[in-house]
Amino acid sequence: MSNKRRNFLRVGALAALGTSAMAGCSPKNESKIATPNINFNKNYLWKMVTSWPPNFPVVGEGCNLFSKIIEEMSGGRMKIQVYGGGELIPALETFDAVSNGAVELGHGAGYYWAGKVAEGQFFASVPFGMNTQQAMAWIINGGGNTLWEEIYAPFDLLPIVCGSTGAQMGGWFNKEINSIQDLDGLKMRIPGLGGKVLNKAGGTAVTVAGGEIFTNLERGVIDATEWIGPYHDYIMGFHRVAKYYYYPGWHEPGSILELLINKPKFYSLPSDLQSIIRQASARVNTWIWLEFESKNSIYVKKFKEEGVVPRAFPTEVLANLKIYTNEVLAELTESSESAKRIYEAYESFRTGINGWAELSEKVYYKS
């Protein structure tokens, strides 16, 4: 018998064996894969509003990247039109616009709508709290996401982690900060829990959209501002209208950004598009965070080359701000059972992960 004939018989026997094995399987034991009922002829055009100026570096670019990924992954079935703050609605009305269904998507940070859902600030940034990787570990893998979804549910919103600024700088000031008394009477653009801490120190916290900060600082409407970090601070030109640049960003050690989705509209989508939105958000989440890290490392050096030397807040100032932070957190957690429950979960995770950090990164940085 030729080799060709022998191989032909062998293939035939294996095929017969496979068919026989399949036939012997009981229908009860068959594994069924649920397939979505997809109408490939139906297209979706959604709107996305943001808290950032149009096409703003990193955060605005990240929103544009999100739109591009959605269109590519869906084969053109879904397109997202991105609007910067002020183009369709005011920047700080993003939460309401998505909640009431005027638009389907939004991008911002939880402390911008603290007046509506104060607990949302725990999912943005806590002064002297967790850094970016710790906060993301808590939200994505440590149970935080369930709590986050619960507090946004009454607003018909689904929140998803979608970026981080990483550790921020302490801000730009038109006076030196040598003691905690220097914050008394200071009017500063600083949102969220950090703003409440400043108020405790005798200052006045002001929430201003990003596009308005430079003008307010230049005209003396505010005495100081925090924003993000070296890259954005350089682009915004704060070094041209403020004298002193301080660190660390005690108020925002690792700020989390959020994708807001109108919940009823999200769950009316085919399941594959729901998954595409989640996966696109995950990709943009990583990109925004690492882009900030990359750019900040370049621009902190650029500042120094131009004569801007960052200053450290005095130890005494940070120690007092931490005391005020504890007071602010105590007041917030006493205001509602929900805030208390979330903060207890936050603190429990922070304590545990700091124990790990003591053995890993903190030792490494000190070596």
Q: Give residue 35's pLDDT.
A: 55
Residue 51 forms part of a structural domain: yes
Tokens of 296: 């900040």
pLDDT in tens, 35-73: 556 777 899 999 999 999 999 999 999 999 999 999 999
What average pLDDT is seen over the chain?
A: 91
Cα separation, 117 vs 107, in Å, equals 16
CATH code for the domain in which residue 66 is found: 3.40.190.170
Residue 10 confidence (pLDDT) above 80: no
Q: Give residue 304's pLDDT.
A: 93
Contacts of 4 (CB under 8 A, 6+ apart): none
341 burial (CB, 10 Å; 0-12 / 13-18 / 19+) is middle
Cα separation, 45 vs 29, in Å, equals 42
- Binned at pLDDT 50, 70 and 90, residue 268 comes out as very high
DSSP 306: T
Q: Give residue 25's pLDDT.
A: 44
- Overall average pLDDT of the 151-162 stretch: 98
Q: Give residue 174's pLDDT.
A: 95
Residue 328 forms part of a structural domain: no
Residue 115 forms part of a structural domain: yes
pLDDT in tens, 323-353: 999 999 999 999 999 999 999 999 999 999 9
- Phi, psi angles (nearest 5°) of residue 176: -75, 145
Residue 117 confidence (pLDDT) above 90: yes
Residue 89 forms part of a structural domain: yes
Residue 239 forms part of a structural domain: no
Question: How many domains are contained in the chain?
Answer: 1
Tokens of 215: 């003008």
pLDDT in tens, 179-204: 999 999 999 999 999 999 999 999 99
Residue 33 confidence (pLDDT) above 90: no
Residue 336 forms part of a structural domain: no
- Binned at pLDDT 50, 70 and 90, residue 5 comes out as very low
Cα separation, 147 vs 123, in Å, equals 10
Tokens of 232: 């954005």
Domain of residue 146 covers 45-165+254-295
The 10 Å CB-count burial string (b at 16+, else e) for 301-334 is eebeeeebeeeebbeebbebbeebbeebbeebbe
Residue 29 confidence (pLDDT) above 80: no
Helix 315-335 and helix 337-359, axial crossing angle in degrees, nearest 10: 140
Q: Within 10 Å of residue 22's Cβ, how many Cβ atoms?
A: 9
Residue 284 forms part of a structural domain: yes
Q: Within 10 Å of residue 218's Cβ, how many Cβ atoms?
A: 14
- Overall average pLDDT of the 87-103 stretch: 97
Residue 193 forms part of a structural domain: no
- Overall average pLDDT of the 114-140 stretch: 97
Q: Give residue 26's pLDDT.
A: 43
Residue 4 confidence (pLDDT) above 50: no
Q: Give residue 17's pLDDT.
A: 38
